[in-house]
Structure 1
C-alpha cells in the first residue's frame, strides 16, 4: 500500500510581527484551513499559569493549550480585519476562511477583545490594517 502525503495549503514563515502562517495556494471563502490543537486543560489550571499566550478558551470550563510547536495553528497572527475566523464546536477549534485567501497572503484571525486588551493594546497593534492607518510621523 502506498501512502501519499497531502501538502497543506500553507506554511510557516517570517512575518512583520514574528512568525506567521501564509497561504501557499488559493484558499476559498468558507474553506477549513487548520485546527487549533493542544492539550485540553481546565480553566482552574489556566488561573494557575503565568504564561497565557497560546491559551484558547473553548467554553466556561475548558481551554486548549496551543503552546506545543506541533500546533501549526499557533502561528496564525491577529488582525483587526482578518481573512479567517476561529469556529468553536464540540470542544474543537477550527480555523476557516472568511474571504478568499491568495497564495502569499498571511492567514489571520481576530483574537478577540480580552486577548487584544491584555497582550496587543499595551504594545500597539501591528496588524497590516493598523500599520496602514497609523498617521505618519512628522519629521522635525
Structure 2
C-alpha cells in the first residue's frame, strides 16, 4: 500500500484535543494518508483496557493514559494504537472530517475523503455509538457538531436526547 510521504504530515498541538496531525502539503482526495497501527487484541481485552482507562480518568489522571486509542475492527478484534510510532492515533474526531478510516485485509487505513490543503488538521469520524459517544465530548467546532463524538448516522439521537433533557430541566 502506498501512502503519502511522511514529510507531508506532522503531529503538533491541536485546538480540538491536545495534539493532532496536520498536512504539511497538499493531499488529494482518495490518497491513503497512513495506517493506524498497534497491538491487535481480542475485543474482550479491549473492553478491559477501556474500563481501566475510564477508571483512571474518573480518578483524575490526565495525559496519554486517559486517551482512547482503541480501534474496533469487528465483533472479535481491536487495535490498541497506544504503541510508539502510531502517529495516526493522534488524528482527532471531527463531525465534518477530511479523512475516513477504512479496513482492508484486517488493517486500518486513513484515506483523504476530500482534497486537504497544507496546514489543515487531519480528522475522521470515530463512529462511536450513541451510548458510547455520550462519554466523549466533541470539541471539533463544526456547525453540525452535537457536542459528543457520535457517528454521523446516530447524531439525530443526540439531538433528540438533548431536546428531551433540556425540556425536562425546564419543568
TM normalised by structure 2 equals: 0.67
TM superposition outliers: structure 1 runs of 4+ over 6 Å: 131-134
Of residues 47-56 and 15-24 in structure 1, the stretch that sits farther from structure 2 once superposed is: 47-56
The CA deviation at 1:94 is 0.1
The answer for the alignment partner of 2:162 in structure 1 is none
- The count of aligned residue pairs is 127
Cα distance between partner residues in 2 of 1:131 and 1:13: 25
**1: CA distance, partners of 2:77 / 2:43:** 5
Give 1:3's aligned residue: none
Q: Flag the structure with higher helix content.
A: 2
| 1:10 corresponds to 2:23 | no
Q: Distance in 2 between matches of 1:133 and 1:39?
A: 32
Deviation at 1:8, TM superposition (A): 3.0
| Partner of residue 59, structure 1 | 74
Show structure 1 runs of 5+ residues with no match: 1-5, 135-140
Selected match of 2:119 from 82, 93, 104? 104
Change (3 A) 1:7 1:35: closer
Equivalents in 1 of 2:6, 2:89: separation in Å?
Answer: 18
CA distance in 2, matches of 1:130, 1:14: 22
- The separation in 1 between residues aligned to 2:93 and 2:42, in whole angstroms, is 24
| Greater strand share, structure number | 1
| Structure with greater contact order relative to length (CA < 8 Å, sep ≥ 6) | 1
Partner of residue 30, structure 1: 30
TM-score (norm 1): 0.80
Segments of structure 2 that go 5 or more residues without pairing to the other structure are 55-67, 148-171
Q: Which residue of 2 aligns with 1:126?
A: 139
What's the secondary structure of 1:46's corresponding residue? helix
Secondary structure at the counterpart of residue 19 of structure 1: strand
What is the Cα-based RMSD across aligned positions, in Å?
2.3
Structure 1 match to 2:97: 82
Q: Secondary structure at 1:45's aligned position in 2?
A: helix
